[in-house]
Chains A and B, each alone.
Chain A
Amino acid sequence: MKNALSRHAIAFVVTVLGISHIITQISVIREFINVFAGNEVVVGVLFALWLLISGIGAWLGRFFTSSSVLLMSFRVCLLLAAFLPIGHIVLIRILRYTLFIRGELPGIGALVIWAFVLIGPYCIITGALLTMACSIMASPGSGGKSIGRVYFFDNIGDILGGLLFTFILVHFLNNISLLYVPAFLCLVGFMLVRGEKSSAILVRVGAGATGIMVLILLVMYPVDKTTLNYLYPGQTIIDHRESPYGRVVVTKNRDQLSFFENGGHVFSTPNIYASEELVHFALPQRETADSVLLISGGIAGTVTEILKYDVSHIDYVELDPSIIEMGTMHLDLRFPPPVAIHLEDGRAFVMSVDCTYSAVILDLPDPSSLQLNRFYSVQFFRDVKRILQPEGILSFAVQGAENYISDDLARFLSTIRNSLARVFAHVILIPGERTIVMASDASLTPEVGPLLARHNIRTVFVNETFLMGRVTPERMAFIHKSLQPTIPVNSDFTPTAFYYTIRVWLSMFQERYTVPLILALLFFLGYFVRSEIAARTLFTTGFTASSMEVILLLGYQITQGSLYTGIGLIIASFMLGLAIGSFGANLLPQVGYGTLLKIEFGIMVYLLAFMLFLSVGTSFAGTITFSFLAILIGALTGAEFPVAGRLVFVTPWETAGTLYTADLLGGSAGAFTVSVLLIPRIGIYYTCIILVMLKLLIVPALLVKMKR
C-alpha cells in the first residue's frame, strides 16, 4: 500500500467488517429462526453454513492479487457488505411468502438450499474481504504479520459489534433498522479506502455519499413493517416487538388475537383448552392448592385458570418483559393481588426462591433447544422438588399424540418419565395432542372429573364430557406400554430429551439425511487430509473454538439462567480472548512449530481442566468464572492464527486465504457437530474427550515439523 494512512484505513475497515459481520450474523440468524423454524438444528445448520460459506469466500479472496483489481474489488465488496444484509432480510421475508407453502414449516433440505441462496452472497463477500484486507495491509518485508493484524482487528470488530448489539441495538431497534448502523460504518469505510489514483477520490466520496443517501431513504421508509406483513397473511399486525429474546407479534383476524413468538404460533384467543389442560389435571389432585409457581404462559390464560382455586399466592415467572406488556395491553389482562410477577429466568428463580409451593406448573415449549432442555432435566426436577410441599405436584405439557405414539415420541416421553421417576415417587402421563405430565411424592390420578366436582371447579374442556373421549383405558394403557425404562435420563450435560425432540421433529419431513451427511463428512475429511499441517491445526482449533463457545454458553445458562446480557457477556469474553490471544501472538519476536505445539498443549490442558471442572460441579461457578473460561479458550485459540500466518507465509493473499478457510471450515464443522450431534448423544463430558482426541491428531505431525 502507498502509505500508512491507507493501512490505518484498512485497519478501520477490518474493524468495521468485524462489527458488520457479527451484527449481521446475529440479525440474519434471528430472522431465519423467526421465519422458518427455531430449534437448535436450524441454528446449528445456519452457523455451520455461515462459517462454511465465509470460508469459501476467504479462499476466493486469494485470487485478487493485482493491486488495482484488488482495491477496486475491495471497495465494491464493501459497498455490497453495507447493503446486502438489509437485502437478505427483506428477501427472506418475501421469499418465505412467495416460494414456500403459506404457513408450512419447511424441511431441513429446503432450508439448507435456501440458506445458501439467502445468506451466501454476504458470507462470500465478507470472507473474501478478510483475505483481500490481508493483501492490502501487507507491507514489503512484513511477512505474515499483516495476517495477524487483520485477524486482531477483525476480533476487535467482533467484540465491538457483539457489545453494540447486546447492550444497545437489540433494545431499541428492530431486526432491519439495526442493520443500518453497520451499513453506515461500511460506507464510511468505503470512503476512507484510497485507490491507486488520487483522482478517484471524487468517485469514492460520491459513491459513498450516494450510499448514505440511499440508507437515509431506507431509514425513512417503514421497511420492517412492510416486509413483516408478508409473514402474517390474512391478519393485521397490531403490535410487534423485538426483544433480546426474540420477536413477539400480535395479530388480529376478525375478533381473534393471535400471539406468535419467533414466528411460531403460541396461542389464539380463546385459548381455553391448553390452559385448562395445564392446570386442571394437577391442581384438583390435592385438598388445597394454596400456593402455585407458574413458569411462563400466564398471559395465555393459565393464571386465569389457577385463580379458579382458593390460592393465596401465585408466583408467575416470565423471562421476557415484552410478553407481559403485550399481554396486558392487548388481552386486557389484570393480575390480581395473589399474583406476583417475576421477570427473570425460570430456572434461576427455582434455584434461588426460599418458599414452598403446592404446585409448580411449567408452560414452556418442548425442549427443542439446549436452553429449553434445562427445564426438563433431572437436575431441574430435583431443584423443583426442593421447593415443593411434601405432597406438591409438578405439572407440564409436552408433545404427544392422541392415537399412536411413534418410537421417537415414545423415547422422548420415556426420558422425561425416567428423569422424573429418579426424583418423584409417582409420575403420570396423560395422552393427548399434548401429553400432560405430572409428578409428585404422593399419589396421582388421571380421573380428574370427580376431583373437579369436589372442588366445585367449572371447566369447558377438562371435564368428564371431553375426557371420556381422550383419557380412555386403552389410550392410558398404550402410552404406558410405549414407555421404555431403559432410555437414559435427561440431564443438563447429556440432553437426551433435546435429542429425541429433534428426532421427532426431523421425522416429520421424511427426508433422508445419510447421504448429505456422508458427503459433508467426506468434504471436511478430504479438506483435512489434503491441507498442510498449519491449516490442519487451525481447522481443529476452529472446531474446538466453536464447540467450546456452545459448551460454555450452555453451562452458563444451566447455572446462571438465560439472561440475555449475561450470554452477551460470555460471547464478548470469548471474542476478547481471541483479541488478546492474537495481539499477544503478534508481539512474539520469533515463532516456530514449537509455538504452535505449545498452544495445542495449552488447549488440551484447558479441555482436561474443563472436564475436571464439570466433574467437580459447576454449581459454584458464576458469571466471572464462565467469562474467565471464555477469555482463556478465546486467547488460546486466537493466538494460533497469527502464529500460523507467520509460519507458513508465502504471499498475503495465499496465506490469508488458506488460513481463514481452515479456521472458518473448522468452525463450521464444530458448530453443527457439537450442538446437533455430539452433545445430545454423548453429553458435554465425552464431547470434550473427542475434542482432546481431535487435538491429539495434530501433535505427531507438529512434532515431525519441529524436528525438521
Chain B
Amino acid sequence: MKRETPSSITRRDLLKTGIICALSCTPAAAMAQSFLLPGKNEKTITRHDAPASLWKWSREVYFNEVLGNGYVKCLTCPNECVLPPEGRSRCLSHVNKDGRLYTLVYGNPCAVHIDPIEKKPLYHFLPASKALSIATTGCSFHCLNCQNWSISQVRPEDVRFDDLFPADVIKGAVQTGCASIAYTYSEATTFYEYMYDTSHMARTHNIKNVWITNGYINVPPLIKLCTTLDGANVDIKSFSEQTYRTLNAGRLAPVLRTLKILKEHHIWFEMTALIVPTYTDNLEMVRKMCGWILENLGPDYPLHFSRFAPLYKLTYLPATPISFLEQARRTAMEMGIHYVYIGNIPPADSTHTWCPTCKKKLIDRTGYRVSEVNITDGRCTFCGEVIPGVWT
C-alpha cells in the first residue's frame, strides 16, 4: 500500500510526545519522589504545619534548645527534631511557634479507660489492681503493626478529646478506685510534660504511676521522670537495629539505654518482646536479647513474649506460631531469666507466675483475672524466696 505521508517521527513529534507523556504522568510524577522507594519507613518533620495559634492545651516543652534563626530543637526523645518556624515534630505533638517549642498535648487525652494492670502488661505490679489509663495523640515511632495507629499517627487537632488536666486525672483515679495511672496506648514520651506533671501530683495522693513505653527517650528527661515513676513496661521491639528501622522507624540503642537507667534508678519495669514472623521469630535473636538482659539488667525483670497478629499495615504476615513463643520462653528461662511470660495466647502455664526456687505457682492468672496470689511481703509464701516487683 502506498502511504499518503512518508514515515518518520520528526524531532518535534518526539519532543511533543515526550512532553505529553510527561504531562499525562504528572499525578504520578508528583507522587513519585516520595513513593519510588516504598521500602523505607521513616517519619519526617513537617514544615508550616503548626496551628495558627496555640490553644488551651499547649505548654512549652521542658527539654529543648533554641538554635537561632527561629529554629528550635526538641530534646525529649532521640529523634531530636530540629523544627523550623511553624514546623511540627515527627511525633506530631510539638510545634515551633515564634522560635519556641510547644507541646499541643497537655490535658487533652483522647483515650481514657480503666484497665486491669495485667493488661499493660505488668504482672509484678500490684496484681489485680486497676489503672486509670490515659493517652493523647502522638508517637516517636511508626510501627507498621501499631494497634493504636488512629491516635499514635495523627495530630492532636485531628481527634476528639477530653479536657482533663492533671488535677482532674488524679480526681478520676481516686473516684474510680484506681491504684495507678498508666500513661499508655500511644507513646507517653510525646506527652512528657502532661505525664510528668500528672505523675508528680499523683504521688502526693498516694497513686502510683506506670509508663507503658517504647523506651525511646533522652537521658535528662528520663532521669527527671524517674523521680515520679513507680513502674514501666518497655517494648523491645526486636534486637536488631535494622528491624527497628524497618518496622518501627526507630532505633534500638536508646531503648537499651533506657532499660539500664531505669534499673539504676530502681524503677520497677517489665519488658515486652513482640515476635513478628520473618522479622523477630529467630531464636538466635532471642538468645542475643536474653544475653544482653542478663548481663545488663539481671534475671529478675520479667520478660513478656507477645504473639503477633496482623494489624494496621502489617497485614500480609501470618500470626506467630505459639510453638515458637513457647520455645523462646524456654530458651529465655534456660538462659537464666526468672520470669518469662507469653501474651495474646490462650491461658496456659506461661501466663502464671512461678517461684524460681520452689517452682510453685505464685500468681494464677486467667485472662486479666487474678484468682490466686501466693506472695507475702514480697516473698514466696511457700519457700520465702524474694519475688521482685511492686506488691504494695
Contact = CB atoms under 8 A, between A and B. Distances in A.
A and B interact = yes
Interface of A: 1-2, 52, 56, 59-60, 63, 65-69, 99-107, 109-110, 112-114, 116, 138-140, 231, 233-235, 251, 253-256, 258, 260, 263-265, 268, 270, 272, 401-407, 409, 433, 460-461, 463-466, 468-469, 472, 474-475, 478, 482, 507-508, 510-511, 515-517, 519-520, 523, 651
B115 A258 contact: no
Contacts of B324: 254
B113 A103 contact: no
B57 interface: no
Contact of B312 (A112, A251, A508): A508
**Which 5 residue pairs spanning A and B have beta carbons closest together?**
A66-B7, A465-B367, A258-B318, A103-B317, A256-B321
Most buried by B among A255, A461, A468: A468
Most buried by A among B41, B153, B367: B367
Interface string B310-323: 11111111110111
Contacts, number: 200
B278 A101 contact: no
A265 B317 CA distance: 7
Interface residues of B, number: 76
Interface in B19-50: 20-21, 23-28, 30-32, 34-36, 38-39, 41
22 contacts: A59-B20, A101-B38, A101-B41, A102-B279, A102-B316, A103-B316, A110-B35, A113-B36, A116-B28, A256-B318, A258-B318, A265-B317, A268-B319, A268-B321, A272-B346, A403-B113, A404-B148, A404-B159, A406-B159, A508-B312, A508-B313, A516-B27
B161 to A, nearest CB: 9
B347 interface: yes
Contact of A523 (B24, B31, B160): B24
Given A264-B316, A268-B318, A474-B113, A112 B17 contact: no
B368 A113 contact: no
B315 A264 contact: yes
Nearest to A409: B150
Contacts of A66: 3, 6-8
Contacts of B317: 102-103, 265
Contact of B35 (A63, A107, A270, A468): A107
Contact of A255 (B313, B316, B323, B367): B323
Given A116-B28, A523-B26, A651-B5, A468 B116 contact: yes
B334 interface: no
B366 interface: yes
Nearest to B154: A406
Contacts of A63: 9, 13, 17
B368 to A, nearest CB: 4
Interface string B298-332: 00000000000011111111110111100000000
A233 B315 contact: no
A104 B318 contact: no
Nearest to A519: B27
Contacts of A65: 3, 5-8
A72 B310 CA distance: 51
B60 interface: no
A52 B315 contact: no
A469 B347 contact: no
A8 B276 CA distance: 59
B346 A508 contact: no
A145 to B, nearest CB: 15
B223 interface: no
A234 B281 contact: yes
B318 A510 contact: no
B153 A468 contact: no
Nearest to B176: A474
B195 to A, nearest CB: 17
A2 B185 CA distance: 75
Given A113-B32, A433-B147, A404 B1 contact: no
Contacts of A270: 322, 346
Contacts of B323: 254-256
